[in-house]
Structure 1
Amino acid sequence: MARIGVISISDGRDYVHGGIADFIRQTEDKLAARLTDAGHDVVRGSSPVSANTLATSVAREIAAADVDLTVLHYAVWAFPHFTMLAAGAIDGPLLLLSNVDPVQPGMVGMLAAGGALDQIGRAHTRLWGDPASPELIASIGVHATAAAAVAALRGSTFGRIGGRPMGMNTAVANTDQWQRLFGIDVEEIDQWEIVRRAELADAGEKAMAREWLERHATVHYDGKKLTPELLERQIGSYIAMRDLIGEWNLDFTGIKGQPELTQHFATMDVAEAFLNDPYDWNGPKQPHVCATEADMDGALTMQLFKQITGTPVLFADVRHYHGDRDIWDLCNSGQHATWYAARSSDPAENLARVHLYPEVFFFPAGGASVHHLAAPGEMTLGRLTRKDGAYRMQLMLGSFETYDDETNQALMNQSTPEWPHAFARLDAPAEVFLSRFGANHIHAIPGDHRATVRAACSLLGVALDEFTRG
């Protein structure tokens, strides 16, 4: 959840403020309690703002508390210039919140303050209602979560392992643009570091991890493309990435993989799947976004989505459209976190549905492909793409579906059955999606998080391109 600052704005006349101070505090108490109950960390101003000096000092207190979102609270009529002074002391996102009360004109105060902010071009959001309303608290939470997600991007570092894969322009972004728009630095690291470090990785951990995978997943050794030695090489690549992430303080990463590693070393499927997972053979951990093919905009989308939900984020090719069923096969070599197999907090439940198959002919170096079928459920799908150099968020609602075993297998057999799959029904007609979507990769998180993504895009200054059936 997010860290939310609350500042109540009052009337500047002493005799008026003295008569309404208790009402303001009671209303703020209710608001703070409801936000805390919703899981947010609430930082309250030391007093309601009833003077120009307090507008600045209280706002500076809240700014110093490093909040994600500041709520300027209007329970009563409030002098608008107090809002202007407070806004000048706060760099982060602002949300103006008024009550709806015929006796105390908080709405009038919010409108006067909001209009003044409009005049100077200061972006803000406005909400109104009773703090006891669950819908209002949820709406504040949407904006706070979006603000926290955007703030988490700034000052972060992306580790780009390798360069552009197979001429894929959509996988490469302008580092200056990333720094200017998102506050993200890019650290360039050669793929040789994975090869070198994988060979030096602890042999005991590699063997332990292999045995853990053999116990919990189904491993299909064939003596050629997949052997215990090749699986341990892939595990060594995961350990190498884990070490690089720690040494270079990388917040999210991408691995080129093709063609050098996939032809001459091993695929990165195991490394990418378990970096994105909330666990590995050592126990629970935080998911680390790692995009295959060093897809920078894919990784950026995934990192934003992860900050919103805290869950792993799906990465996939838009592989095939089954027109007779109006479903899409989202499939990419090994990239899906195994968590998506059942979306369970128990790794064993997820891994029971995972098969490690020998890699297909595309990847002569061999290794395991991490196969499973994503569990059904509502999904938010999208991706940050660029049109004429400008970023846009292409966003839609959808759902993952599964069928009987025979149908599932028949559908997977039409593409590459050894790879992980998600059968997706999108809230967009195929002709619209294929005409407008700006990449071959797409990303997904469980649930409907479109409102939070919209709010994050507003904060980032990124255009929204929503797909619907309407």
Structure 2
Amino acid sequence: MARIGVISVSDGRDHVHARNAEFIRSKQDTLVAALRSAGHEVSVGSELVATNTQATSVARRVAASDVDVTVLYYAVWAFPHFTMLAADATRSPLVLVASTDPTEPGLVGMLAAGGALDQIGRQHTRAWGAPDDAELVERIGVRAVAASVASSLRGSTFGRFGGRPMGMNTAVANTDQWQRLFGIDVEEIDQYELVLRAEKADAAEARKGREWFEQHAAGVHYDGKKLTPELLERQLRSYLAIRDIIAERELDFSGIKAQPELTENFATMDITEALLNDPYDWNGPKPPHICATETDMDGALTMRLMNHVSGTPALFADVRHYHADRDIWDLCNSGQHATWFAARSDDPAENLSRVHLYPEVFFFPAGGASVQHIAAPGRMTLGRLTRRDGRYRLQLMLGDFESYDEATNEELVRQSTPEWPHAFARLDAPGEVFLSKFGSNHIHAVPGDHRATLRAVAEQLDVELDEWTRER
């Protein structure tokens, strides 16, 4: 949930304000109670704003409580310049909310204030309805959560392990642009640091992790060459190593290049990346640490936003194949899908019971385990931050993950790479549109329909929205 400031704006004439004050407080109290019932923290203005000095002082006090959004509430006609002064005293996003009680001209007050803000270019959102109307409360909540997500980027640090992978331009972002637009710093870390730390990592902990997989996974398919207990423990020591680096350098999210240096000379990072993104490991629950393979910066940024909006791990996948005969997409990458997606259960054992660790395929001579499963079915929000001519856009769509009978699943995975994880997705985007316009080979997803919040996040980050829908 989010922190919401509520400031009620009134009429500047003393006798009119005196008449209206009790009415305004009644409406404000109902709105505040509804927002709190929805789980939000609410900071209420200490006074009703009926003078110039109150407009500034009340807004400053609310802003000092570090709210995500400020609601300027209009239960009656309100002098518009009070809104201008209050808006100048806070930097948080503004939501102008009007009561629709016909006995007082709250809508008039909101429109006059909104028009004045338009004239100076101050961005804001408008909403209206009864103060306890569920739709109104939800709309305010969406804006507040979006503002919280957008502001959470500022002051964060991305750990970039290695450089551009295999000439993949879409995986590399301009660090100056990230700092300017999102307030994110990028810490460059050589992959050799990961190798050195992995060699010194706790062998007993790595063995404990290997035994955890052997106990709970559907299968750990050792072949004596590409996947051995020693190679699996090397991957788990890599996880322990990067976890220590994350803690030491206070990284908020990260990406690992892996290909080709690590995948040809050390081990794949599939286990490391899957466990970082998971909400658990063999020692119990933990927060997911968003990590993108192939040091995909915009991919990691998308996943971080999706994770904050949904509260769940975020998927990273290649757009591997379009089964035109079924109108489904095979979203498949070299094993980094968080194991949580196998069943999306709070119980790791339930997820792992559907996960196989297979020897890596010919692409990766160093070997190690790939994390194979089929993503559990359900409604999903999918998309990615991409760039067109240097400007960011959020390409967004709804879809469904699907799973079929065992024979059909087996037939589909064998058409691409059966050792890797798969998410079979039916997208609310025509195949021709998607393939013609999607700006990356990587796509990301979280369970549920979070489009409204992500739309608001895009607006607050000044990112163009490129949303695709079709009749279901």
Bin of the TM-score, shorter chain as denominator length: over 0.9
What does residue 45 of structure 1 align with? 45
Once the 2 structures are TM-superposed, how far is the Cα of residue 19 of structure 1 from its aligned partner? Answer: 1.6
What does residue 368 of structure 2 align with? 367
Q: What secondary structure, in the 3-state scheme, does the structure 2 residue paired with 1:317 have?
A: strand
- In 2, the alpha carbon distance for the partners of 1:47 and 1:215 equals 61
Once the 2 structures are TM-superposed, how far is the Cα of residue 108 of structure 1 from its aligned partner? Answer: 0.6
| TM-superposition CA deviations, 1:76-113 (whole Å, max 9, x none) | 11111111000001011100000101111111100010
* Matches for 1:300-339 after TM superposition, within 5 Å: 300-339=301-340
State whether structure 2 residue 96 is matched by structure 1 residue 96.
yes
Once the 2 structures are TM-superposed, how far is the Cα of residue 469 of structure 1 from its aligned partner? Answer: 2.3
Aligned residue identity for 1:365:
A
What does residue 357 of structure 1 align with? 358
| TM-superposition CA deviations, 1:321-352 (whole Å, max 9, x none) | 11110000000011111111111111111111
What does residue 344 of structure 1 align with? 345
- In 2, the alpha carbon distance for the partners of 1:375 and 1:30 equals 41
Aligned residue identity for 1:177:
Q
| TM-superposition CA deviations, 1:22-55 (whole Å, max 9, x none) | 2211111111111111111111111111111111
* Matches for 1:75-94 after TM superposition, within 5 Å: 75-94=75-94
Once the 2 structures are TM-superposed, how far is the Cα of residue 164 of structure 1 from its aligned partner? Answer: 0.2
Structure 1 ranges of 4+ moved more than 2 A: none
- In 2, the alpha carbon distance for the partners of 1:20 and 1:68 equals 28
Aligned residue identity for 1:144:
A
State whether structure 2 residue 423 is matched by structure 1 residue 422.
yes
* Matches for 1:368-407 after TM superposition, within 5 Å: 368-407=369-408
* Matches for 1:166-181 after TM superposition, within 5 Å: 166-181=166-181
| TM-superposition CA deviations, 1:382-404 (whole Å, max 9, x none) | 00101111111111111100010
- In 2, the alpha carbon distance for the partners of 1:391 and 1:223 equals 46
TM-score, reference length from structure 1 = 0.99
State whether structure 2 residue 127 is matched by structure 1 residue 135.
no
What does residue 114 of structure 1 align with? 114
- In 1, the alpha carbon distance for the partners of 2:42 and 2:221 equals 51
- In 2, the alpha carbon distance for the partners of 1:194 and 1:317 equals 25
TM-score, reference length from structure 2 = 0.98
Once the 2 structures are TM-superposed, how far is the Cα of residue 379 of structure 1 from its aligned partner? Answer: 0.7
Once the 2 structures are TM-superposed, how far is the Cα of residue 320 of structure 1 from its aligned partner? Answer: 0.4
Q: Which moved more, 1:397-406 or 1:16-25?
A: 16-25
Q: What secondary structure, in the 3-state scheme, does the structure 2 residue paired with 1:34 have?
A: helix
* Matches for 1:180-219 after TM superposition, within 5 Å: 180-217=180-217, 218-219=219-220
- In 2, the alpha carbon distance for the partners of 1:367 and 1:27 equals 62
Aligned residue identity for 1:22:
E
- In 1, the alpha carbon distance for the partners of 2:321 and 2:421 equals 13
Aligned residue identity for 1:279:
Y
What does residue 270 of structure 2 align with? 269
- In 2, the alpha carbon distance for the partners of 1:3 and 1:231 equals 44
Aligned residue identity for 1:310:
G
| TM-superposition CA deviations, 1:191-211 (whole Å, max 9, x none) | 011101111111121111111
What does residue 228 of structure 2 align with? 227
Aligned residue identity for 2:408:
T
Among the aligned pairs, what percent are the same residue? 74
- In 2, the alpha carbon distance for the partners of 1:241 and 1:22 equals 58
Aligned residue identity for 1:184:
I
Q: What secondary structure, in the 3-state scheme, does the structure 2 residue paired with 1:274 have?
A: helix
User: How many positions carry a matched residue from both structures?
Assistant: 470
Report the aligned-residue RMSD: 0.8
Q: What secondary structure, in the 3-state scheme, does the structure 2 residue paired with 1:414 have?
A: coil
Aligned residue identity for 1:231:
L
Q: What secondary structure, in the 3-state scheme, does the structure 1 residue paired with 2:136 have?
A: helix
- In 1, the alpha carbon distance for the partners of 2:8 and 2:281 equals 46
- In 2, the alpha carbon distance for the partners of 1:7 and 1:239 equals 48
Structure 1, unmatched stretches of 5+, are none
Once the 2 structures are TM-superposed, how far is the Cα of residue 18 of structure 1 from its aligned partner? Answer: 1.5
What does residue 409 of structure 2 align with? 408
- In 1, the alpha carbon distance for the partners of 2:144 and 2:452 equals 11
- In 1, the alpha carbon distance for the partners of 2:62 and 2:366 equals 55
What does residue 436 of structure 2 align with? 435
Structure 2, unmatched stretches of 5+, are none
Once the 2 structures are TM-superposed, how far is the Cα of residue 216 of structure 1 from its aligned partner? Answer: 1.0
What does residue 460 of structure 2 align with? 459
Once the 2 structures are TM-superposed, how far is the Cα of residue 260 of structure 1 from its aligned partner? Answer: 0.3
Q: What secondary structure, in the 3-state scheme, does the structure 2 residue paired with 1:442 have?
A: strand
